[in-house]
Chains A and B, each alone.
Chain A
């Protein structure tokens, strides 16, 4: 028989427990996560290609007249990518409220739940945005190369880095916000939600 527990010394399990949970989730729901990843990649590809185009055009002869129009394009692409990524990640959290509630019942701290989603999102975000920004910047680079406006490998690398950074940050933020909200919910409420 267990003695009365009045002393509460709880520490989170080591990081690999959360990491295994995140990996298992990605492995088992592979196609679901592949689509999420593709969504992130496409959003970032659009942004990266617009960024690349603006760099290419800016080096061209009629740079001044193009500059403001391109600025708007880049901004629009960023917003579209933001909406796309946020939507993908929101879906992947909300469809798992029940799982969150269950894990809470097993004794997971709020922090553990957020950690799992953080790791998952960071991994998906990294894969999606590296792929997306290389694809987007590369494709636009090819198009620009045909018209001899390719801005060079330096700017190309910068665009890829920028796209990757923005992609990971957006993905993680978009996943963490609903995950924190879900983790803070009373377990009963999370279990009740049917998606």
Chain B
């Protein structure tokens, strides 16, 4: 059995108060393994983004707990949580969320500076990461001078800044056209296979299914079904990779 990187137990998250309360998550327990490519699928409003936020320590659950590398993140102080976000998790968003006032390279190196890396080393590693996503010649461009696909590549390079063990991607292809979306998915899969980083992706993009090792289906705030790659009816032959 592979190592568990993320474990949630009976997660409940509700929004609103009194009679208008909405349960976005209603008792989700799951385990996510080291090195797997996991897709969280579900319709809009099913709670997948909420689950994503919980796993990433961006929000706190009302009940239940999230363990990342065996640490209960509800027990962490704000500073420890910042440390966790800095070192253990890389985030990718649907809307890219690059820092608009900084260049591509500065966006990538910022998390390294937070981690206490020397600026020269950070620049060097930043260029290497931009090279990895095929953007080293645009390092001095600001986000508004880059296309959507390029911005998402910068975001991917940034998510890898401190060599995290987990990359969390919230609808990474949601704002991209079909072809660019496919390129981003392939890039994520490549990083997953070559660097062994766990990729957790909330999505309703069916292209994601081809590359996923496992798929969580979320319905009405509950984990309705877990599919592994073998069970996928949509499976399209040639994709390699390890099975669990």
Q: Do A and B come from one complex?
A: yes
A131 vs B95: C-alpha distance in the bound complex, in angstroms?
Answer: 39
Contact of A98 among B69, B85, B97 (CB under 8 A): B97
Q: Kindly provide the distance from the CB of B117 to the nearest chain A CB, expressed in whole angstroms.
A: 9
A85-113, CB under 8 A of B: which get 1 and which 0? Answer: 00000000000001101111111111010
Asked whether any CB of chain B lies closer than 8 Å to the CB of A195, the reply is no
The verdict on B14 contacting chain A, using a C-beta distance below 8 Å, is: no
Partner of B106, one of A4, A11, A24, A186: A24
A4 touches B69 (CB 8 A): yes
**Which A residues touch B60, using CB under 8 A?**
186
Minimum CB distance partner of A4 in chain B: B69
Docked CA distance A45–B59 (Å): 44
How far is it, in angstroms, between the C-alpha of A6 and the C-alpha of B59 when the chains are bound? 20
Q: Give the number of chain B interface residues (Cβ < 8 Å).
A: 44
Which secondary structure dominates chain A's binding surface? helix
* Chain A min CB distance to B109 (Å): 10
Q: Count A interface residues, CB 8 Å.
A: 36
Q: Cβ of A10 < 8 Å from any Cβ of B? A: yes
- Interfacial chain B residues near A1, Cβ < 8 Å: 34, 165, 196
Could you mark each residue 157-176 of chain A with 1 if its beta carbon is under 8 Å from any beta carbon of chain B, else 0?
Answer: 00000000000000000000
B window 19-70: CB within 8 A of A: 34, 53, 56-60, 69-70
In the assembled complex, B76 has its CB within 8 A of some CB on chain A = yes
Q: How far is the CA of A5 from the CA of B142 in the complex (A)?
A: 33
Q: Does A2 contact B (CB under 8 A)?
A: yes
In the assembled complex, 20 residue pairs joining A and B whose CB atoms fall closer than 8 Å, in A order, are A2-B163, A2-B165, A5-B69, A6-B70, A8-B83, A10-B80, A10-B83, A10-B86, A28-B101, A102-B99, A103-B99, A104-B82, A105-B85, A105-B97, A106-B114, A107-B87, A109-B79, A112-B114, A184-B78, A188-B53
